[in-house]
Homo-oligomer: A and B are copies of this chain.
């Protein structure tokens, strides 16, 4: 059986690492073998025991020391060094068995997504037709309509850049008030309600602009899965969605 890849992406602090841990536990509780890959050379603490840890190849703290680099330089150099270790990591990955490979991407999205090596790293470690990207957005971004539009636009930007089928997941929903969570869930059922929020809250000077962003996003479909790594809420729905996405890819492939 060929394994499937789930790549957790999202801006710094969106909860990728925590979700990797809880999603892995959830898969195991369902009897599904899974492999956890930490791809962040700069992570200090992991709430899971990685099967593959990029820090065994490149450790950002050591890179900083060895080359006398500041934090910025150390991170950039680490990502470039990681690229050079890709074949070794891939080889290690091939030796481990699991139905699902969970890839926990580096803390900062920008370091790989908007640099040339990033998409190459993801391509090499996963498999084009058996990979789903889970794009994580912090629930705090949903509290204001402008921020929600902004993070949804970022999600599209990442999707085009990486060219993988992508699922949006809203993390940390346990931190939302019951009213905000209710609003969010209503929006999922009736995305056109986003327009009312825009009318309500938009700065008049930016009104037309924000309105057309909202139109575009509604047209594309505002789909997301609310999850919480604390309560476990949404993990079953996330799994179903990943499975659907990957089996659809298989079908497309078979029909070509």
Contacts and interface: CB of A to CB of B under 8 A. Distances in A.
A150 B161 contact: yes
Counting chain A residues whose Cβ lies within 8 A of the other chain, the interface size class is 35 or more
Given A70-B42, A70-B61, A160 B140 contact: no
A232 to B, nearest CB: 26
Contact of A157 (B12, B61, B64, B150): B150
A27 interface: no
Interface stretch (A71-79, A82-90, A93-101, A170-178): A71-79
Interface stretch (A30-38, A111-119, A185-193, A233-241): A111-119
A91 interface: no
Contact of A42 (B60, B72, B147, B156): B72
Interface in A151-204: 151, 153-154, 156-161, 163, 203
Interface stretch (A46-54, A206-214, A222-230): A206-214
A54 to B, nearest CB: 13
Nearest to A152: B157
A15 interface: no
A213 B160 contact: yes
B213 A156 contact: yes
Listed from nearest, the 8 A-B pairs whose CB atoms lie closest are A153-B157, A71-B71, A150-B161, A11-B114, A42-B72, A71-B74, A150-B160, A154-B157
